[in-house]
Structure formats: C-alpha cells, structure tokens
Amino acid sequence: MTSPVNVTVTGAAGQIGYALLFRIASGQMLGPETPVRLRLLEIPQGVKAAEGTAMELDDCAFPLVAGIDIVDDPTVGFDGANVALLVGARPRGPGMERGDLLEANGGIFKPQGQAINAGAADDVRVLVVGNPANTNALIAASNAPDVPTDRFTAMTRLDHNRALTQVAKKAGVPVSEVRRLTIWGNHSATQYPDLFHAEVGGRPGTELTDDRAWLEQDFIPTVAKRGAAIIDARGASSAASAANAAIDHVHDWVLGTPEGDWTSAGVVSDGSYGVPEGLISSFPVVSQNGAWEIVQGLEISDFSRGRIDASVGELDDERAAVRQLGLV
Ligand code: NAI
C-alpha cells in the first residue's frame, strides 16, 4: 500500500460534500490502491453537521480511510494537502449584484489561496467547485504565488458530462460512444458546448451540428441551463452529479485521460485559442503524468469563435471586477 494522500474538502457539510466524501473514501477518485486522509474544512456553523458526516464515514468502515479531521481554520485545513476540493462558497443572495457576489467569494477564496500557499504539499492539486468557479479559482491562484498556477483548476466537468448525455440521446448511441466534446469558457450560462470536433457513434459530430435549429435552440441551451432545470425539478441544486464530476475531474487529472479522447476543465490560459493569458477558462484538455495540457490545433469555426469569445469576454469582465476589488 502507498502512503495516504491528504484530501481537503471545503464545504464538507453541504449537499455536494455529502455526495462527494463517500466516493473519495471508497477509492473512486484516486483508485482502489490509494489510502486517503480526509480533512473536512467548514465554517464554525458547519462543523457539527460535518461531524455527523464523519460519523457516517466511520460507519462505512472504508478500508482506504487513514483518518478524518474536521477543522474550521483554513491554515490547518490545507496543511500538507495533496488534493484540495474547494466546494464551499457564498451563494448569490436576494438583491446581490455580481460585484457583491465576487466580493463575498473573495472573502473565502483569497484566504484559502493564502493558506494553500503557506502549507499545502508541493504536489497540491486544487479543484474549485464553488461558484463562480472560474473566478474563484483565479482568486485562489493569485493568492498562492509559490504554487504553480496550473495546479488551480475550475470544474466544468459537470457541463461536459451533461453534454455527453444530451448528444448520446440525440444520436441514439451509448454515452461511451461520444468522444472529443468540449466545453469552452466560463461555468455559467455563457459556456459553449462544442460538437464540431466530436465523434458520435464513430461518425463526425458535424452531422449533428448541421442541424442548426437543434444545436442553437435545443442542445446548447439545454446544457447551459441544466443547473436551473435541476433546481426547478428537485427544489435543490445539482449535488450528486456535481460530486460525480469532481470525482471524474480529479481522477483523470491524477490518473490520466483515456487514449484518443479528451475532456473539459477550467485551466489557466496560456493564450491558446485567443483566450487571454491568465484567465481560468474551460478548454479541451488531456492529462498525462498528472498535468493537464490544452489540446492544440483544433480548427475553430466562425460559429464557435463567436460563442467562445462571448464566454471568455465574461471571464475577462469578472477578472477586471476582482482586480478592482484588490482580490487578484
Ligand atoms: P451547500 O450550501 O449545500 O453547502 C455549502 C457548504 O459550504 C456549507 O456547508 C457551508 O457551511 C460551507 N462553507 C461556506 N463557506 C465556507 C468556507 N469559507 N469554508 C468552508 N466551508 C464553507 O452548497 P452545495 O450545493 O454543496 O454547493 C456548493 C457550491 O458548489 C455552490 O457554490 C454551488 O453553486 C457550486 N456548484 C458548482 C457546480 C459546478 O459545476 N462547478 C455544480 C453545482 C454546484
């Protein structure tokens, strides 16, 4: 057995935390051979509920769990962390403007970035789930100057998985036969799910994109507005599917993406595809040897260009707003 990996989960007492921790503990994130030491980071009001979750984790008697700590101090929470899942965030309250939301989340992700900088393990990998995920990841990364920026990522895997299923249903093929789909841009309603390079049941994705009415009026809005549709139906936001996507993201980051396919993740832009350097934007990515790489050389159609630019423009505006607030 290898030595335990330290996994810190913020917002551990929330609904995603509840769906996530048991899957990490069972080995679905890092593989069945890798023990984990879990650190549940909450705010003081969330500690008691996190203790309840920890009791249930104990009651599962997972052989891979080497220990569980519950903390409310980020400095302690990220000390020695190898994997950090930043799930806890401030939701948009009534009457809150976008600037207020960014500022409130800055109050969470700035100190968390600083704590990761101060004490996380040298190989730390960070996934930001809490919204607005891309810009929260940017805030955390900017406040961790000693950690390579490419260790900070934002979750668009849920959008990717949602798109896979929509395409599979439309084409009447299993999800496993949909490959090379991309989510570009922000994890928001402006995101762009791109099928132009996809392979669907062994056929080019352009056979689907030729149906512009379906593409523009059905597929893209269904994927982009799926979160709202779940809230409408369930009376609560996506939790199990969000946790599943976080598991997929870290699994593929650490253990690699399948040969011949790629996935989507919010990673720091190196200027690829005209996305301004430094933004944390969703791209087509592969992971090899534990590092994400942006898939290069894809031809971007005019249709895609407009959509990508719109979503990236929103990210640029968010960066300008958090700059003005002194958060990055
Ligand atoms: P929730 O409200 O059930 O739980 C959030 C938890 O975070 C609470 O227990 C709260 O006490 C805790 N928390 C708040 N501030 C914290 C801090 N500074 N440190 C540690 N913990 C803190 O929310 P839920 O449903 O679990 O969602 C969490 C976040 O994930 C939300 O921001 C949501 O918008 C986002 N989300 C992102 C998705 C994505 O695809 N990127 C998909 C679905 C949700």
Residue 187 annotated in active site: yes
**Counting atoms of ligand 1 from 1, which one is nearest the CA of 129?**
41
Residue 267: name the closest of 149, 162, 181 by CA.
Answer: 149
User: In the listed set 95, 130, 154, which residue is the last one of a domain according to the structure?
Assistant: 154
Q: Which of 154, 173, 197 lies at the terminal end of a domain, its last residue?
A: 154
Whether the CA torsion 209, 231, 27, 17 is positive or negative: it is positive
Could you tell me if 192 and 283 lie in one domain? yes
Q: What is the pLDDT of residue 161?
A: 98
Structure tokens of 283? 């791209």
The string of pLDDT tens digits covering residues 144-159 is 999 999 999 999 999 9
Q: How far is the CA of 131 from the centre of ligand 1 (A)?
A: 8
Q: 160, 187, 197, 251: which one is catalytic? A: 187
What are the angstrom distances between the C-alpha of 65 and each of 24, 33, 53, 148?
9, 11, 14, 28
Of 117, 137, 154, which residue is a domain's last?
A: 154
Q: Does residue 140 sit in the same domain as residue 228? A: no
Both 174 and 258 in one domain: the answer is yes
Q: Is the pLDDT of residue 182 over 80?
A: yes
pLDDT over 90 (residue 130): yes
- Whether 150 and 116 map to the same domain: the answer is yes
- Do 201 and 96 have their domain in common? no
Residue of 13 and 96 predicted with greater confidence:
13
Chain segment 114-127, per-residue pLDDT in tens: 999 999 999 999 99
How many domains does the chain divide into? Answer: 2
Query: Do 184 and 109 fall into the same domain?
Result: no
Higher pLDDT, 281 or 91: 281
What band does 93 get if pLDDT is binned at 50, 70 and 90? confident
Domain-embedded: residue 301: yes
CA of 29 to the centre of ligand 1 (A): 19
Residues 163 and 295 in one domain: yes
- Measured from CB, residues less than 6 Å from any atom of ligand 1 are 10-11, 13-17, 41-43, 46, 87-89, 91, 108, 129-131, 133, 155, 158, 187, 237-239, 242
Same domain, 24 and 125: yes
Q: Which CATH number does the domain housing residue 180 bear? A: 3.90.110.10
In a domain? residue 35: yes
Q: What is the pLDDT of residue 200?
A: 98
Question: 2-18: string of b/e by CB count within 10 Å (b at 16+)?
Answer: eebbbbbbbbbbbbbbb
Residue 1 — very low, low, confident or very high, per pLDDT cuts 50/70/90?
low
Q: Which domain, by its residues, includes 123?
A: 5-154
For the domain that residue 96 is a member of, what is the CATH number? Answer: 3.40.50.720
- pLDDT for residue 99 is more than 90: no
Residues 40 and 75: beta-carbon distance below 8 Å: no
Q: What is the arithmetic mean of pLDDT over 153-174?
A: 98
Q: Which 3 state secondary structure label does DSSP give 84?
A: strand
Look up the pTM and report it.
0.98
User: Could you tell me if 196 and 255 lie in one domain?
Assistant: yes
Q: Do residues 145 and 194 both lie within one domain?
A: no
Q: Clarify whether residues 79 and 177 are in a common domain.
A: no
Mean pLDDT (whole number) for 61-90: 98
Instruction: For 202-257, write each residue's pLDDT tens digit.
Output: 999 999 999 999 999 999 999 999 999 999 999 999 999 999 999 999 999 999 99
| pLDDT at residue 95 greater than cutoff 90 | no
pLDDT beyond 90 at 289: yes
Average pLDDT of every residue of the chain:
97
Q: pLDDT at position 115, please?
A: 98
pLDDT of residue 97: 84
Q: Which of 102, 226, 245, 101 is nearest to 169 (CA)?
A: 226
User: Quick one: what percent of the chain has pLDDT higher than 70?
Assistant: 100
Residue 30 CA: distances (Å) to CA of 146, 184, 259? 25, 26, 19
